[in-house]
Amino acid sequence: MPAGHGADSRAGDVGEHAALAYFDSVRHAFARAALGAGTFEQGLQVGDVGVHLRFAGQELARALLPALGPVLHSGDGRPDVEVDLWDERSTGVGIPEPVWRLRDVVARGDVRSLSGGRVRVQVDSWNKVLTMWDAQLRRGIVWAGDAQRLPYWLPAAPLRAILHWSLATRVRHMLHAGAVGNERAGALLAGPPGSGKSTTALACLEAGLGYVGDDYVLVETEPAARAVSVYGTAKLHAPSLELLPSVPALQLSPDAQKFVVDVAGARPDLVRRSAAISAILLPRVTRGPLALHPAAASEALRALAPSTILQHADESATGMAVMAALVRQVPAYHLELGSDIAAVAPAIRDLLKASR
Amino acid sequence: MIHAPNIVHETVDRETIVIHLETGNYYSLTGSGADIWALLDGAGSAAAICSELARRHGCPEDEIRGQVESFIADLVREGLVDDSDASPMTVPPEKRNGAGGPWAPPKVERYDDMRDFLLVDPIHEVDQTGWPSRRVSEEAAQ
């Protein structure tokens, strides 16, 4: 049996039939919300995947759409993916009682007994957000308790679970990584929170190197390694913000541990829809001079895979294979950022020139 | 012996990275660790693996048995491998390959810096106002 998904069945597990029936009842709830509040529709184009979003009311659209600037699309033609979204506070319509038990929900938020099946679920009890996906019909649904009380990081990178489920293939995956560069040469920035991905990405933006993303990007490994922009925002701690004077902080909620900046809004000329991946950089905040030195492919996989996979609900084995393919085809480097932020972009520019 | 559920793994440059999806821990297997990991996948008991590795590296089984068994015990303890009795006693022919060369002791390194990345625990830290009727659901389940 391939590792990754248990085929065990325990008392209390929810079956696919029950999950599909529940999905239908949530769709009925959405229909009631839409009837009362009206609908607002928006298309997205992420890579070659067209997504059609249908919001009941405006509240959730107002919260989630600003960060999706790079992928907003007029939505011509038949979409590959359809997603219904609503919030309870502004529409007065909640969700039916779930069919799974909370002890069947793993810490990351997915329902254990539905793992790997047709219906995918992500439950965020703390923030009151439910996301469901029907892999066969390629249809998603998102409910939020209150669009105005989402944690700061959610509107900064919205619809991650839906995009992850709908975009994942054998050669494509949403990765927890930043990316900079252009169609000829670019770098993927990998590492845990606090390693300096955002600072590096925004230093490159300031220097005109091309900004694709600071935290989550879509990565394709075929026909060539490429990073596709999904979110136009960046999340930064206050000290990094001071180093980047031309990018104003636009959004700050009381619970924010980081500042969220609207990069696509502030510097649309420097945001790229996609970039080649000719190197994987593993930044680290250090003192002293900047240093770049080769890293093993396994180190790059260690920097990319755990943080990507532990945040994503489901599809972990496919994602791991995509990342392994990527680190096998692209060289990796440790990037010790040093004390001089102005040195970062020129060093990356030189590296990318040499890699072309 | 088989790889446990709730893990994902890949091997790159003779290093295997294993991620435990429920604990959030991840592991790096080096030395002969990647070979042992590959042999564990539905293939064999510890004894069968020792015998295969001794053949590959041209060294006596006695010399490596302690290292292999202790490495496998570490994997079992970390929940990466299921210690099942149904393991075949020999390594199947399709798994009898792999590089020879000098024996390198297997090493496992554990990283737990990603545990905080998992969402808050829905059982213990859920909002007490009770979304979505958590207490009712849980009580009904008892």
Please report whether residue B124 resides in a domain: no
| Residue that terminates a domain, selected from A118, A133, A167 | A167
Please report whether residue A10 resides in a domain: no
Residues A20, A153, single domain; the answer is yes
Task: Give the mean pLDDT of chain A.
Answer: 88
Calculate how close chain B gets to A235, using CA atoms only, in Å.
16
The two tokens of residue B120 are 């808050």
Residues of chain B found within 8 Å of residue A307, distances taken between Cβ atoms? 114, 117
Question: Does the pLDDT of residue A275 top 90, yes or no?
Answer: yes
* Tens-place pLDDT, residues A19-68: 999 999 999 999 999 999 999 999 999 988 999 999 999 999 999 999 99
Identify the DSSP state of A194.
T
Return all residues near B125 (Cβ < 8 A) that are at least 6 apart. A126
Residues A23, A64, single domain; the answer is yes
| Residue that terminates a domain, selected from A167, A188, A218 | A167
Among left, alpha and beta (phi > 0; psi -120 to 50; other), residue A264 is: alpha
Q: Are B78 and B27 in contact (CB under 8 A)?
A: yes
Closest partner CB to A3 (pick from B3, B22, B26):
B3
Strand partners, A181: A186
Q: Report CA-CA distances (Å) from A250 to A152, A160, A214, A258, A288.
A: 12, 21, 16, 12, 31
Give kind and range of the element (H or E) at residue B50: helix B46-57
Residues of chain A found within 8 Å of residue B6, distances taken between Cβ atoms? 4, 6
pLDDT of residue A316: 78
Identify the DSSP state of B88.
-
- Give chain B's domain count: 1
| Residue that terminates a domain, selected from A141, A167, A193 | A167
- Beta pairing, strands A72-73 & A39-46: antiparallel
What percent of chain A shows pLDDT beyond 70? 88
Q: Nearest chain A Cα to B3, which residue? A: A3
Residues A130, A222, single domain; the answer is no
Range(s) of the domain holding residue A262: 172-355
Q: What is the model's pTM? A: 0.88
Closest partner CB to A316 (pick from B8, B13, B121):
B8
The residue ranking higher by pLDDT, A170 or B4, is A170
The two tokens of residue B27 are 């592991």
Please report whether residue A127 resides in a domain: yes
Residues of chain A found within 8 Å of residue B21, distances taken between Cβ atoms? 4, 106, 108, 309-310, 316
Tell me the average pLDDT across A332-344. 94
Question: Does the pLDDT of residue A251 top 60, yes or no?
Answer: no
Residues A123, A185, single domain; the answer is no
Residues A77, A194, single domain; the answer is no
Residues A204, A116, single domain; the answer is no
The closest of A288, A299, A286, A305 to A333, measured between CA atoms, is: A299
Residues of chain A found within 8 Å of residue B81, distances taken between Cβ atoms? none
Which phi and psi (to 5°) does residue A210 adopt?
100, 125
CATH number assigned to the domain comprising residue A184: 3.40.50
Strand partners, A281: A189, A333
- Give chain A's domain count: 2
* ipTM for this prediction: 0.85
Q: Are A108 and A313 in contact (CB under 8 A)?
A: yes
Residue ranges in chain A assigned as alpha helix (H): 16-37, 59-64, 88-91, 153-156, 160-167, 197-206, 238-242, 263-266, 297-311, 316-329, 344-355
Residues A163, A228, single domain; the answer is no
Tell me the average pLDDT across A225-243. 83
Calculate how close chain B gets to A267, using CA atoms only, in Å.
30
8 Å CB contact of A3 and B2: yes
Question: Does the pLDDT of residue B87 top 80, yes or no?
Answer: no
8 Å CB contact of A317 and B5: no
Q: Nearest chain A Cα to B6, which residue? A: A4
8 Å CB contact of A125 and B134: yes
Residues of chain A found within 8 Å of residue B15, distances taken between Cβ atoms? 296, 298
* Tens-place pLDDT, residues A73-107: 986 778 999 999 999 999 999 999 888 877 777 76
8 Å CB contact of A305 and B10: yes
Closest partner CB to A324 (pick from B10, B138, B141):
B10
* Tens-place pLDDT, residues A185-222: 999 999 988 888 988 998 898 889 999 999 999 999 99
Centre a 10 Å sphere on the Cβ of residue A243 and count the other Cβ atoms it contains: 16
pLDDT band at A356 (very low <50, low <70, confident <90, very high): low
Burial of A43 (0-12, 13-18, 19+ CB in 10 A): middle
Q: Nearest chain A Cα to B42, which residue? A: A1
Please report whether residue B136 resides in a domain: no
Please report whether residue B140 resides in a domain: no
8 Å CB contact of A105 and B122: yes
Residues A177, A322, single domain; the answer is yes
The two tokens of residue B46 are 């510890």
Calculate how close chain B gets to A233, using CA atoms only, in Å.
20
Closest partner CB to B123 (pick from A1, A103, A324):
A103
Range(s) of the domain holding residue B82: 4-116
Strand partners, B27: B18, B110
Q: Nearest chain A Cα to B30, which residue? A: A298
Please report whether residue B129 resides in a domain: no
Fill in the amino acid letter for A262. Answer: D
Please report whether residue A6 resides in a domain: no
Centre a 10 Å sphere on the Cβ of residue A210 and count the other Cβ atoms it contains: 23
Please report whether residue A309 resides in a domain: yes
Please report whether residue B133 resides in a domain: no
Residues of chain B found within 8 Å of residue A324, distances taken between Cβ atoms? 10-12
